[in-house]
């Protein structure tokens, strides 16, 4: 691909010449020059400007869509050439929901890089819904999500079991409790993940099966990450619902205590999310690696 094509794609994805310049580490006038040269080459405007904002023209959208396909085909070419001498080359854009991106996938990516050092890796993170949207928008090649909802435009593959458990800080008044009843969950102050997170979605579904309305819980606050919840528990006389995979270290150090709840076990699957259609080679390589990884 021509470098002007690459510059155009970055501007199109950011809808900003300034952000594109920051991402590519070149000056904004250079960005403008490259885009103008491409427009002259194609003899058509790719962007329209309204005030301080820019938007893709119809031609710009068409150009971006085709260049995206060309870029993917080029990566496939690199991969196939790599197979000829077992020297895999290319790139892989992975999206991961918050819990997975923080506690599971970094070690996997490091091991994958050690095995395939010439495959360029990019990791995006956010909640499960955001990662699915990036997948559909072709911003990423595959997503690792923790929600249970189903998007008909996405193919899901289970890759790891997880459990969401009730915990409390070691200094909390509840730390000495052996276990809790479901009725306790309704009364004790509780901190939960933010709305839109896969973890909260799974919790809500599990409580609904027990005829418990999430909004009836004594929710003190919603926090945007499990790390924030763990820090919050240090000075909080209450409980939280979090992934067991995310607090293995704290349970070992006994800074957080697990509180079993009678009649409430929340199990879930971490899932791979892929677009429907032909399976691309490098994502397939990563999936095979992930399925054999020893978590």
Domains of the chain as residue ranges with CATH:
1-85 (1.10.10.10), 163-266 (3.40.190.10)
Cα separation, 177 vs 22, in Å, equals 52
Res 279 pLDDT > 80: no
pLDDT more than 70, % of the chain: 98
Name the one residue in this structure whose structure tokens are 């909004």. 215
Among residues of the chain, what percentage have pLDDT more than 90? Answer: 68
Instruction: Give per-residue pLDDT as tens, 165-186.
Output: 999 999 999 998 988 999 999 9
Res 74: pLDDT: 79
pLDDT attached to residue 79: 66
Residue 245, pLDDT score:
92
pLDDT at 288: 87
Which candidate, 145, 141, 115, places its Cα nearest to that of 130?
145
Q: How many whole angstroms separate alpha carbon 188 and alpha carbon 193?
A: 16
Q: Which residues contact 167 (CB under 8 A, 6 or more apart)?
A: 233, 239, 240, 241, 242, 247, 256, 257, 258, 259
pLDDT at residue 36 is higher than 90:
yes
Residues across the chain: 295
Contacts of 229 (CB under 8 A, 6+ apart): 191, 192, 193, 223, 240, 242
What is the C-alpha to C-alpha distance for residues 107 and 251, in angstroms, rounded to an integer?
20
Residue 18 pLDDT more than 60?
yes
Question: In this predicted model, which residue has the larger pLDDT, 241 or 293?
Answer: 241
Mean pLDDT of 36-53: 92
**Cα 234 from chain centroid?**
27
Tokens of 38: 């491409």
Q: Is the pLDDT of residue 43 over 80?
A: yes
Kindly report, residue by residue over 129-164, the tens digit of the pLDDT.
999 999 999 899 999 999 888 899 999 999 999 999
Q: Which range is most confident: 89-93, 114-118, 250-254?
A: 250-254
Q: Please tell me the predicted confidence (pLDDT) of residue 23.
A: 86
What pLDDT is recorded for position 81? 72
pLDDT digits (tens, 9 = 90+) for 188-235: 999 999 888 888 999 999 999 999 999 899 999 999 899 999 999 999
Residue 208: predicted pLDDT:
93
């Amino acid at each position: 691909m021509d470098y002007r094509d690459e510059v155009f794609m970055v501007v199109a994805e950011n809808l900003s010449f300034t952000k594109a310049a920051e991402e590519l580490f070149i000056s904004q006038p250079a960005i403008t020059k490259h885009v103008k040269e491409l427009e002259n080459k194609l003899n058509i405007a790719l962007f329209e400007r309204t005030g301080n904002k820019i938007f893709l023209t119809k031609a710009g959208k068409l150009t971006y869509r085709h260049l995206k396909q060309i870029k993917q085909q080029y990566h496939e070419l690199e991969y196939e050439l790599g197979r000829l001498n077992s020297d895999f080359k290319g790139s892989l854009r992975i999206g991961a929901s918050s819990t997975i991106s923080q506690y599971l996938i970094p070690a996997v990516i490091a091991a994958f890089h050690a095995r395939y050092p010439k495959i360029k890796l990019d990791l995006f993170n956010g909640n499960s819904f955001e990662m699915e949207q990036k997948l559909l928008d072709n911003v990423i090649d595959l997503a690792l999500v923790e929600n249970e909802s189903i998007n008909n435009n996405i193919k899901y593959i289970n890759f790891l079991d997880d459990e969401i458990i009730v915990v409390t800080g070691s200094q909390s008044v509840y730390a000495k409790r052996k276990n809790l009843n479901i009725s306790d969950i309704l009364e004790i102050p509780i901190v939960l993940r933010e709305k839109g997170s896969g973890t909260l979605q799974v919790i809500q579904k599990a409580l609904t099966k027990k005829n418990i309305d999430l909004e009836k819980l004594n929710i003190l606050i919603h926090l945007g990450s499990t790390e924030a919840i763990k820090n919050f528990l240090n000075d909080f006389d209450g409980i939280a619902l979090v992934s067991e995979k995310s607090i293995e270290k704290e349970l070992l150090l006994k800074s957080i205590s697990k509180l079993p709840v009678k009649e409430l076990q929340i199990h879930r699957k971490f899932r791979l999310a892929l677009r429907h259609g032909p399976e691309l080679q490098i994502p397939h390589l990563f999936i095979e690696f992930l399925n054999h990884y020893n978590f």
